A and B are shown apart, each in its own frame.
Chain A
């Protein structure tokens, strides 16, 4: 443990879970910048069609399709997953369960470098002849299965390859998450003493590992169709285009929860610490999470109500979809109940946690509309759906991500972030997020289709154009609102005031390690005596009671 590692082993080819977490975070943030750029270009084109985008130029329709495709691909697979799952999972799992590292540190390093390779492949795909993938992030064949239909050759092949590598990376990561949590828990850390974010992370890992397989098979078929001349998805060769949709969405819906659950986990960690109150209903939340995870495997065809599948299948899927609101409602109610009779401190992480909660509620409620098969006939593939999934995924990725990063920044970098800049960042983000995406619901109800480059080509959408312009202005302001975060993040890393071990007086184990924790994390492996949210416990004199603090000497001796 004490051996000195050189530069390469310390910063690049590190097996330390904390360094790997930071590597994922860095790459995720870089991709977020690209994702933000694609959003800017698309929004400008939609508001002011066929005018020159400031700082870029004109946007041709096929380039617009590439933007649409890459925006989705990047944000889901190269921003949300590396940040929510890989960064926080890697950083928190060993620290929160009281382990010195992951179960397979070298596999962990390999996971990151496979992800880096996936990033490289995706990056290269922008520059190959024919351009990057432009068949939508869902890549529906036959459009994606034959180069003639899009004019994109290697762009889509590399896109498939990048996704396959990304899946392999997260499969290895998932194996590590699960094995670590099962096997490396500190003495006394039973499953029902695990912090909720760990439950969320491992549920997400299981969902990912059990749902991605069919899509890997599907991706193999798609790549074979494009390169070897097979006809899995091409009807002229006896293939079935809808097969891809089933394989994609069988993965796609669990994937939503792969992103969402860790996000909710961050809220569930932040909220009790700044409410000074135990999370309300620890076990019901765990059972709900598992129930939602299981249900997520039998809802996938709600993406395909009007896809041409047998209409008799629609109602069963509609019912399971709408019923999945029950476990999530429970988690939301539990969060609200945690605030009841609390002592709420409005720190930056808490503001972002509350932001996640309030935004996620709206995203969940609009999901009921989408889940209702008859309503979906009309709103399918409109901006109502776009608004809905930005409410759920933006809340999980960015609001919850910011809650997590501002909460654990002291532990990650040993310094405090600036609260004033943090609050400015929160309020700007919260206001402009809602100003961007609430109007988008109405544009969708007006009938505006997704993935069209120019709404002015349609008579019935012309009256919506002022709303589109308003959305674009707010979206640009939302992007600009991230500057305070970047400044705060970089400045605090170097100049922030030095953080103590437990600046928030929180209970979970990571706060009993030094800030930042050294390689190996703990001086001695902690012993766990209680559940993670014993705030304001009548047993303690202070309003917090860490998991590893023995109340009496005899309790310590027994362990």
Chain B
């Protein structure tokens, strides 16, 4: 007999005429890790909100710990004993680990904070779990993994019975994720349940007892652990195929070479990438790629080493130097960071082109020519006076088209698939392939392999800031990585 912690029965949630949750039906048992794979992102945040708090629903019933807490007639707006862990930490950055765990929770009723005693308790707790974190440290000094662990412990101490984990692989590396998953399994034995939201079935299948597929605000399939096969999933997911670049391009000399680069987290790394090639640097423990991103953006100076573009050394003083020498950077979740919603599509598209043409104003005939060239690719959207109302797919296309037009020699892309649903990931693969076909070299910086192997030609593994493994050693990769291999 299994006890349920959450039961969602025939729930429909409509906000301002849009149906976000459409007659969904699923349950989570006590001590279970229930996977949720959103094939598109429609309704995902509304579902999370609904599990956290008993907000108004159009129809259905929600039971938490076998009690009816929300139903079509009356929604009490009360909060359930559910905790959400995602990239945005809920911890107080300027307080110590001990205070975040022991003081900022509902079970602490003391008027006097006894630092010594709390520290002792926290140390004991962490020791029991086999975690080595200095409890006197401030949260702001912790790594993302450490913060996530502290949040998990805090949630459990706070009495959370269900913990929602939102796309951990977006910010935890493979090694970190593996460690964190061991903790989850430990807590399931104590009866804590988890809703594990993942982008990829390979990740969810590894840890979850059951997995629900979520699309258009509906649960389309619930898969039990013994049915975890590619065949079961095949009708539900898109398959992406890998088109390697032509050999002639690979035979050319490296367009970008990093020689002996050293920073605090990079240990004399060396790599090169060729024209039209896609190289992925997979950072197993999430230490080095942030430094590469900062180097490319001009926020960090290397202690030693140099970057050569087309055989010429680039002084890493400002971002501008790299861009003018043909090195561009696309950040993680690029839409809100690189696009300007209030200016037109064309202005966004040609945002960098003035640097390329070395003119402050662009001639109308050039603009018209660009407009007509890209009309074939984007259709009527090219005339859009602003970006409001465009789909996420169009906005991502715009980000990549900007570089297709600018045509840099190399584009560094940070975690390209991390915020994308399945359909968007398919589009990003197409866009990266477009850049490759144009002869632009791509360097993907990733902490998780995700769909990168669908576009990558070469894979380098980074561990503790060292490049340790190249693509021909695929067999040595952790199971989750090798599961993605083409």
The judgment on whether A and B are partners is no
Hey, which bits of chain A sit against chain B, CB under 8 A? none
Interface residues, chain B, with chain A CB atoms under 8 Å away:
none
